[in-house]
Chains A and B, each alone.
Chain A
């Protein structure tokens, strides 16, 4: 990280105190009104003020101390560490990645065995794998094809509503609805893909955001079909190839001579989503070796060169959108059957941001990174469950912090599809500097 006007590295206490005092003054300016004073609605409906100068003083003091410590300790330590980490340690870390992936996968498989008795952890596991799957799906669009999509949740929503509506109106079973939901989501992907073919970068991002919001608003307002804000209740639960998970004589437990337990369904759901996620992962990995995958990655690197080489950018982009959307649709159908109830509440922009954060923070294009990021983010989310109101705040802070300290993601060692030569470092540096020039 290039830092301009780096002060000399000697321990300079007065300067550090001055810097910390400055930070404290800024903090005071920022927080004096918004934290020091709170507005609440009084009994008459008018707003009344309460002061919280104690909290304000604590925060300003905390900023002062943190800044002081940061200047005195962290910056020096950071500079010292940054010097000799790269060469050996990074190579070792890169060597560990394949094993880490295998270990991670093995762990994912035995989660229901280890935590069989713990409903809460099983639920969390299902959630994490769902987001991993969404991350894999979005990774096709963002990580491989380089098309920044801020409205991915739209496909998740299309999948969920497709499943819910088809299952309810036509009474089709889950295994028939699942591909249908995927196909419908893929069509939604094409629908989004066509208009945005000519857009790049940030414009694309904002249009996809708009698309996501349009889908949500339509779901919210199309009362006759979607139930509007009340959502769709009573979505059929999944069955084990026709055997329902209940205590009836034809149920899963009775058929296999087991004692009925509601955990069966959870375990089944867990393996179902794990299977779907692995399918997504497998398809992605295979696609990367196919011409279409190569075309995606070429498109990500340089669209003009792509066109010059005769790659059909239209179909390349559309397939990326459709493919990513399809997996989002699968995940949505799974979400619907798992919840049994869906409403537009579940498909807000925050979800899109979360999935995108998982992809980017995981290290774009890295499948293991996505899984790690999903675990870290959602696991961390759960850790803060007790501090419910601070949860999103911490999430936002973490997002900013990770992207600043690891701008290339947690696992930034994506296996290259094609290895050309050892001069990669130089090429990457040139490409990096070229990229900063592009905005005009």
Chain B
């Protein structure tokens, strides 16, 4: 029981990170109907930026961890957002009106570019970062097993929760959010009623990338080690989360993320750690077969 609760906590923490990445997938897919294959690598870029900014801050003598983390968060979000914007501008916008396959190929190309760019610029070896956030609480003990909730886990879940609430408000209340929802329903119609579609799509990418940067920072803090290849698996799993939750749905992305995190953690804990990724992919396939619209998704109406 204690072991199970511990895995539950770990799973939710991991799932929060997946959820943040999944939002980027689900928004882009909702609006322009493409899998932004490079999104996982945007997350990776965000993690690298966070690492570098933090090291720079340490080098120039900013030693208070909360202040440093705040600056890291803001800078990483801003620069990663710029990456998101640039990727959309260079690789996707020229293909807005071509076949559905072309943007996907372009996205795969962009994913390869980002991965290898970071590899060339920062080297292929893993980057370790000593743990910054220490401490935690022992919730309860029993059978020689203490259930621990560490501060970093609290930070991950709290940050994710706060961002989710903020982002939901943005989509529900602001003008930009309304534009995004309009574009999601019908791009052409949205353009006809005076919405700047290109700008809305750009901003969608920017916001998605900024959230991925937060996920990158949290990943860095939680695991303490990153490399240029973390984007691929995290990206595929986050996409799985988006599909599982129902693509196009924001709460769905979060629920999907947490479910994927839980499945992965539980599988590792009770079955075999080698096959944890197989479990995640298998879930993706099973969900798509039996529940193609996901948990909170709308059924896709097939138009002739």
Contacts and interface: CB of A to CB of B under 8 A. Distances in A.
Contacts of B277: 213, 217
A404 B113 CA distance: 15
B247 to A, nearest CB: 9
Given A37-B56, A400-B109, A206 B198 contact: no
Interface string A184-212: 00000000000110110111011101110
Contacts of A35: 121
B128 A47 contact: yes
B170 to A, nearest CB: 22
Nearest to B78: A29
A15 interface: no
A26 B86 contact: yes
Contacts of B278: 213-214, 217-218
B35 to A, nearest CB: 5
A364 interface: yes
A439 interface: yes
Interface in A373-427: 389-390, 392-393, 395-400, 403-404, 407-408
B239 interface: yes
A350 interface: yes
B112 A395 contact: yes
Contact of B120 (A389, A435, A439): A389
B106 A403 contact: yes
Interface string B223-254: 00000000010001001100100000000000
Contact of B108 (A214, A218, A356): A356
Interface in B16-43: 29, 32-35
A234 B58 CA distance: 52
Given A49-B56, A202-B34, A396 B101 contact: no
Nearest to A148: B101
B275 A393 contact: no
Contacts of B239: 206
B147 to A, nearest CB: 30
B304 interface: yes
B49 interface: yes
B198 A357 contact: no
Contacts of A397: 109, 113
Contacts of B99: 407-408, 432, 435
B221 interface: no
B284 A304 contact: no
B122 A440 contact: no
Nearest to A390: B120
A393 B116 contact: yes
B53 interface: yes
Interface-central residue, A35, A350, A360, by most chain B CB under 10 Å: A360
B285 A207 contact: yes
A99 to B, nearest CB: 28
B85 to A, nearest CB: 8
B174 interface: no
A203 B292 contact: yes
Nearest to B232: A349
A195 to B, nearest CB: 5
B288 interface: yes
Interface string A281-313: 000000000000000000000001100000000
Interface stretch (B88-96, B157-165, B259-267): B88-96
B109 A399 contact: yes
Interface string A1-34: 1101000000000000000000000100110111
Contact of B106 (A38, A404, A433, A438): A404
Contacts of B173: none
B112 A399 contact: yes
A436 interface: yes
B125 A210 contact: no
B48 A34 contact: yes
B97 A2 contact: yes
A97 interface: no
A404 B33 CA distance: 18
Contact of B55 (A47, A199, A201): A47
B48 to A, nearest CB: 6
Given A213-B236, A400-B106, A195 B301 contact: no
B88 to A, nearest CB: 12
Nearest to B83: A30
A392 B100 contact: no
A439 B33 contact: yes
A437 interface: yes
B132 interface: no
A221 interface: yes
B146 interface: no
A407 B82 contact: no
Given A29-B82, A30-B86, A404-B91, A206 B284 contact: yes
A353 interface: yes
B281 interface: yes
Contacts of A196: 285, 288-289
20 contacts: A30-B82, A33-B75, A49-B55, A148-B104, A198-B292, A205-B35, A360-B105, A364-B101, A389-B120, A392-B115, A395-B112, A396-B112, A400-B90, A400-B110, A403-B102, A407-B98, A433-B97, A437-B188, A439-B100, A440-B185
Given A148-B101, A349-B232, A356-B105, 19 more contacts: A38-B123, A195-B288, A196-B289, A198-B289, A205-B104, A206-B35, A210-B285, A357-B105, A364-B101, A393-B113, A393-B120, A396-B116, A400-B91, A403-B95, A404-B95, A438-B33, A439-B32, A439-B100, A440-B301
Interface of A: 1-2, 4, 26, 29-30, 32-35, 37-41, 45-47, 49, 142, 148, 195-196, 198-199, 201-203, 205-207, 209-211, 213-214, 217-218, 220-221, 304-305, 349-350, 353, 356-357, 360-361, 364, 389-390, 392-393, 395-400, 403-404, 407-408, 432-433, 435-440
Q: Closest 6 interchain pairs by CB?
A: A439-B33, A399-B109, A396-B112, A396-B113, A210-B281, A400-B109
